[in-house]
Amino acid sequence: MEIIHTSVLLQECLLYLAPEKPSSLFIDGTLGEGGHTHAFLSRFPDLKAIGIDADNEIQQRARERLQEFGNRIEFYHGWSDEFFASYSTEKQKPDRILIDLGISLFHYEKSGRGFSFRSDEPLDMRLESDSGESAADIVNSYKEDELANLIFLFGEERYSRRIARSICQMRNSAPFSTARALADCIYSSVPSDYRHGRIHPATRTFQALRIAVNSELSRLPRLLSLAMNALALDGRLGVITFHSLEDRIVKNYFRDLSKSCICPPEMPICKCGGKPRAELLTKKAVSPTEEEVRNNSPSRSARLRVVKKIVVGDHIKW
Ligand SMILES: C[S@@+](CC[C@H](N)C(=O)[O-])C[C@H]1O[C@@H](n2cnc3c(N)ncnc32)[C@H](O)[C@@H]1O
């Protein structure tokens, strides 16, 4: 089987998330084609793993790639926040959790679901195919101002209003069905200097649609706190993000976990217990080296942040 995706910040993940004791459990909350998990299981022969992915198609690829590890790995098909929400307290607590957010190169190049604006594929973008609204449902049905807000909020696109207006005008003649048709519409709606910028003018709108279709930003805070809850004492959670919207959520959450008091400033005395719940192992986010970016350009925006859990207790709000 041809592996399409190159794992990002792999050496850094192996360093920060190396297990310290035998028979540790590693949970990969975003398994993809299984690159990170493959490296962990190969490097640490006593390690066991659980691999989670919302996308069944890519998970089949990971199953094939990881079959050499036999029963050292189990698979779960679904969203990782839902996995952690139902993770039994009777089960072994994970010592290491890795979340490598977003989508895999497989999705852009082979999924046939319109993630790439260069493709003539159906405009779908769902990771969990057949469930919920597709990207085409959104662009063909949202009101112009709803669409503009979505493109602005999730894509940080400064021409969101022009793009939304143009989409709504064009869909009156025929609804959008392919990624290329939408990309062409966006291209023609923006000023000419923007068309020839560093990135394709449809990049941010496509990011916004993918985030909305898969509820990526609303899942993330829940995923982080459920993962922290499941983690063993002294366990570590590492998260790789690819854009500022998700990185901000992870950065603020980890900062709050490591602070001694998280009471609102207007509270006269501390009511939260005043103890840090985690130690920040990456004071600054870890970025890929120049060499990694040269060899794998999609890694350029990757940022890794890692915390270590230092308290237990169900009374703690994660
Ligand atoms: C960046 S890729 C992971 C690549 C993987 N680390 C590797 O090295 O091959 C992210 C994967 O996680 C899945 N995914 C993204 N968010 C998810 C979530 N909240 N729950 C479950 N799967 C998710 C996507 O379907 C995709 O396959």
| pLDDT at residue 316, rounded to an integer | 61
**Measuring from atom 5 of ligand 1, which residue has the nearest CA?**
32
| pLDDT at residue 119, rounded to an integer | 87
**Measuring from atom 22 of ligand 1, which residue has the nearest CA?**
53
Please list the residue range(s) of the chain that carry CATH number 1.10.150.170: 129-213
Q: Cβ(246) to ligand 1 under 6 A?
A: no
| pLDDT at residue 267, rounded to an integer | 83
Q: Which atom of ligand 1 is nearest to the CA of 3?
A: 9
CB 197 within 8 A of CB 182: no
CATH of domain 10-107+219-309: 3.40.50.150
Q: Cβ(58) to ligand 1 under 6 A?
A: yes
Q: Which atom of ligand 1 is nearest to the CA of 80?
A: 20
265 Cα to the center of ligand 1, angstroms: 37
Token pair for residue 262?
A: 């998280």
pLDDT digits (tens, 9 = 90+) for 151-190: 999 999 999 999 999 999 999 999 999 999 999 999 999 9
Q: Cβ(65) to ligand 1 under 6 A?
A: no
pLDDT digits (tens, 9 = 90+) for 202-251: 999 999 999 999 999 999 999 999 999 999 999 999 999 999 999 999 99
Asked if pLDDT for residue 315 goes beyond 60, the answer is no
The answer to whether the predicted template modeling score (pTM) of the entire model surpasses 0.75 is yes
Asked if pLDDT for residue 15 goes beyond 70, the answer is yes
Q: Cβ(4) to ligand 1 under 6 A?
A: no
Q: CA dist 224 to 66, 246, 305, Å?
A: 26, 11, 12
In sequence order, what E strands does the chain have?
A: 25-28, 48-53, 73-77, 96-100, 236-241, 278-280, 303-309
pLDDT digits (tens, 9 = 90+) for 51-69: 999 999 999 999 999 999 9
53 Cα to the center of ligand 1, angstroms: 6
CB 291 within 8 A of CB 3: no
Please list the residue range(s) of the chain that carry CATH number 3.40.50.150: 10-107+219-309
| pLDDT at residue 112, rounded to an integer | 95
Q: Cβ(124) to ligand 1 under 6 A?
A: no
| pLDDT at residue 317, rounded to an integer | 66
278 Cα to the center of ligand 1, angstroms: 24
* Mean confidence (pLDDT) of the chain: 94
| pLDDT at residue 194, rounded to an integer | 93
| pLDDT at residue 272, rounded to an integer | 72
| pLDDT at residue 89, rounded to an integer | 86
Q: Which atom of ligand 1 is nearest to the CA of 62?
A: 9
The rounded distance, in Å, linking the Cα atoms of 37 and 72 is 11
pLDDT digits (tens, 9 = 90+) for 40-53: 999 999 999 999 99
Q: Cβ(98) to ligand 1 under 6 A?
A: no
Q: Which residue has the tokens 């594929």?
A: 121
pLDDT digits (tens, 9 = 90+) for 266-312: 888 887 777 899 999 999 999 999 999 999 999 999 999 999 999 88
CATH architecture, domain defined by 129-213? Orthogonal Bundle (1.10)
